[in-house]
Structure formats: C-alpha cells, structure tokens
Amino acid sequence: MAALLVTIGLNATQAPAAFAANILSNSGFETGSLSNWACSGGTGSVVSTPVHSGSYALAGAASGSDTAQCTQTVAVKANTAYTLSAWVRGSYVYLGVTGGASTWTPSATSYTKLSVSFTTTASQTSAQIFLHGWYGTGTYNADDVELDGPGGTPPGDGAPAAPTAPQLGAVTSNSMALSWTAPTGTVTGYRVYEGNTAVATSTGTSATIGGLTPCTTHTYTVAAYNSAGESPKSDSVTGTTGGCTDTGLAKHALIGYLHASFANGSGYIRMADVPSAWDIIDLAFGEPTSPTSGDVRFNRCPASECPNVESDADFIAAIRAKQAQGKKVLISIGGQNGQVQLTTTAARDTFVSSVSAIIDKYGLDGLDVDFEGHSLYLDAGDTDFANPTTPVIVNLISALKTLKAKYGSKFVLTMAPETFFVQVGYKFYGGAGGGDNRTGAYLPVIHALRDALTVLHVQDYNSGPVTGLDEQWHNVGNADFHIAMTDMVKAGFTVAGTGHRFPGLRADQIAFGLPAATSAGNGYTSPAQVQQALNCLAKGQDCGGYTLRGGTSPAIRGLMTWSINWDRYFNWEFMNSHEPFLNALP
C-alpha cells in the first residue's frame, strides 16, 4: 500500500552486521520541530502527548486524500545491511525505505515497535526513510525512529536526496504543471521524467510539460541533481490531459447486454423492441472458431431457438434507428463460453480482420471486450503491468490499438472484466507467481488502452470476497462491494508483489456491472443498495463508513447489467429503477 516506491535493490547475500549508531537526525522529534523531516501537504506536526519517550513525538494527520507521509533522507554506505525501527501508534501505520522493504500495523492502540531490515545496493549512497498512515484512518503517531548502521558521505558532499511530495497543478489539453518539495543537500536543478526519459528540467521546484496529446495519461517522477550526480527519483504522480473526444455517450449511461446470438431461457428481444433507456447495447456474443484462432464470428440467434428473431435487414435497420437516437451498439467478444487466446501474431491479425468484418457488416459503434475464463493469463516473471511480455496480453493490446486507430476517435471501446482479473491484482498478481496466473491479468490491457478506453465496467458479481483499499474483505450483493471495488479503479493501487502502482482511471471511464435479477448471476443487489453506492461514489454521501480513497466521482459513467433480456423477464426492474436515478445525478 505504500505508494512511494522508486528503485532500491536488495542484496540478499550481504550478511547483516550490528551497529549501535542511529544515523537519523531528530529521530525522537526532541527538537520540538520537524527539522530534518519532510511531511506531505503540511500533514505532520510535533506533539507532546502521546509520546513513547522523551518530550515529543510525530503526529501525522492522514486524511481522505493524503496518507500523511513523512520522510527523511540519510547518507548510507553501499553493500551494507541496515535495520530500521520505530515506535508507532494508530490505525494502519507504515514504516519503510523508499523503493525497498517496509512493514505496517493495522491497529496499534498503544505504542508498538515496527522493525524492518534492508541492504543497500553496490552504488547506493542515500536512503529515504518513510512513515505514513492510510487514507481516511485519522492521525497516527511515531517516536524513537532508528536506522541502525554506518553513516555514509553526507548528501551535501554528494548527490542530493530525492525530491518529495510531487503534485499536479494546472492541466490543459496539451500541458501539465507539476510542483514538488526540495530535498536535503545542494541542488543545482531538477529533471522531470516520464519513464526513463527526461521531459523537462527546472532550477526551481516546479515545471510545466507541454506538447502533450489531448486526452492522454502521463506518469511523472522528479530527480534532483548537482555536480556530484543525480538523486533517486521521487514518488510518481499521474494525470490526464483534457480535450477528450465526445463520443456522444450519455453522461450517466445505462449499459446492457442483449442476447443476440442465443435466448438463454430469458427469451429473445428484437433490436427494435429494446427500450430507448439503454444507452449502450452490447451484442452478446462474438466468439472465436477455436480458442487460439483469433477468428471471431457473430452468429445471430437461429429461428429454432428464437422464433421471433428478425431478419438481418430489420436488425440492421433497428441498429440505425438506435444510433439516430444517440445510442451506441457494440459487438461484445468472449463471454463465459467464448475463450479467446491470441497466442500468435497471426491470431492477432485474424482477430483484427474478423472483428472489423462484424463491425462493418452491421455498422456498429465499437467493441466490448468480455474475456473471461482462461482467455487472459500472465507468464511467470511477467510482473510489470506497464511492460507486459505474455503473448496473449501483448497481442490483445496490439489488436485493440489497431482497431481504435482504424475507426478513429469516435470508436467506443468498453471492457467487462471480472474482479478476479482487476481488483484481485491488489493482493495477487499472476506473473509474480505463487497462485493463479490469471489474477490481475486485465491490468496491463486496461493500462495500455487507458487513453482509448471509453468505459470499464467490472463485473461486480459472480465473485468471491475481495480485499479493498481499506484492507477489509468485501462481499457481493450490497452497496459496500460496489463502493469498495469502484473506488479501487478510481484511486489506483499497488500491484501485489511487483513494486508497481496501477494508476486509477478518470471517473467518466468508470461504471460498475451487476445482475439485472437473481436468475442472472450471483451478486444481485437491490435497487436501494445500488443507488446508495452511486450516491457514495458520485456525491460522497451514505458511504456506510467507507472512506473513498479516490475521492468523489460526479462524472461516474453509470451502470452495466447482465442483461437486457433478464431485465425484461423480471418486468424491467433494473431499467425502471436506475435510468431515472442516473439521469438525476449531477
């Protein structure tokens, strides 16, 4: 959960050594001030009670938008073992070294000692120590912080420490302003990095990056430098430029799947008979001729199963009528039975051509990716979601980017992953090993397509319990589940065991999915509970004790359901309850 990681390697072969020296300054805050410590957003202070020893201790005021991170950077020796410890008090208190080892306690009603060991790399000259709480959990205390080990060359005599607390300023369609807090040591200037590329330099603690493409997401870090060298990079900060193309989609959309190739016990609905309340209609399903062929076919429901099925001509005419009303009609690929594994570039290319043929034949507005089962997985060692290497992931990303480029900015791209493939990645990530290699497997696809993605509507159903950002288990079928799962998508989260953080999506890209009725899936949620979740997410109201880590989302896109057919079967409860409610949201 500590969102402040830059690269500090560990040398597991170095034998630990014991030292009596504490090389931190003002480690017990006995100066009565925060000297030598930097706390984010003015959240830190020194208090006289409660203390562990002496006269003073640190108080970090964690809020709904700030974990109250306090750091100190010290000079260290290379290839050397250190032990870091602190006495802490409060809920969810974290101690660690930036980019390396960390530890935490979920609840310390009285002062409790945390301790963690790490070993510096062969070229490391400084280490940043951090303490922080967690979003919305209130004030924590820390005292008697110790870093046991030999001191190195002071930062003033070498490269500076890392800048802290980077934050976004003004954002336009083609620029982003950043600011940060100066580190200790002599600083000549700063470099702003996107990945490993320096995109701006500054002699002060701010910079503006220009020449950006509208509606694109960027993640930046900052490093300080002087004549002796460059500091480690700061925490990352992520933002999205303005100027996103208006696809004509309703601000708060009602999204539903239409059984277009089967009846599934709920009966067939002719396209012309779909009520106008539905803003996105997903045609279920396009399926491949075999799991690895990439050859996707859309076969309309046969008359033997759907006696009232209309002709292709009437079907297409009804699609045009929906589009004239501003509705979007998409082909949904996959579903429960449609396994799609693009294991080769040939399958990728076939996928692009066959999906294009379906879109062109029916004049559709875009594509919904509903890959389930074993369609997506991560090879062992594939741990960086921003740079995936597993063929089924890489080829799908390439295929979707090709389709987006072919059809242009108005192309509607949606995704309907299960929680297993998204939020479960917070605690388990397939490529990191030690479990199912499918956990979190949608994350690299979502991230790579985030600038092209219209709506992500995770299936908040047919799911086991999932750990949220509050470190609590959440279960399907109530407002709490939808609040916690959707907040994870908005706030972003660290990806388990990888050292990487998945940045959250824009609110207008986020909806959540649920069954239209009890027969449609496990996790049916009553209309009152669904609307409680929407009130919490959009307005910050009636959150049931949950604190939104991603903040409120007035622009949240809406609701998805499986399915339009099941909703009709149960007298349109979903549509009649939620379409007016969505329209009334700000």
DSSP H or E stretch at residue 259: strand 253-259
* Three-state SS sequence of 275-312: CCCCCEEEEEEEEECCCCCCCEECCCCCCCCCCCCCCH
User: Which of 244, 237, 236 shows the shortest CA–CA distance to 213?
Assistant: 244
181 vs 158: CA distance, rounded Å: 19
Longest Cα–Cα distance of the chain, Å, equals 84
Number of H helices, E strands in the chain: 8, 29
Positions of E strands within 76-163: 81-97, 102-119, 126-132, 138-148
394 vs 343: CA distance, rounded Å: 9
- Sheet strand arrangement including 206-209: 164-171, 176-181, 206-209
- Is the bond into 285 cis (omega within 30 degrees of 0)? yes
- Structural contact between residues 370 and 285, judged by C-beta atoms closer than 8 angstroms: yes
96 vs 112: CA distance, rounded Å: 15
Cβ neighbours of 213 (radius 10 Å)? 11
Q: What are the distances in angstroms from CA 384 to CA 262, 342, 398, 425?
A: 39, 20, 17, 12
- For residue 356, the SS3 value is helix
User: Which of 502, 293, 503 shows the shortest CA–CA distance to 395?
Assistant: 293
Is 30 labeled as catalytic in the residue annotation?
A: no
| Catalytic hit among 287, 310, 372, 579 | 372
323 vs 330: CA distance, rounded Å: 11
* Three-state SS sequence of 174-194: CCEEEEEECCCCCCCEEEEEE
- Structural contact between residues 97 and 131, judged by C-beta atoms closer than 8 angstroms: no
Strand partners, 201: 191
- Structural contact between residues 82 and 119, judged by C-beta atoms closer than 8 angstroms: yes
The catalytic residue positions are 372
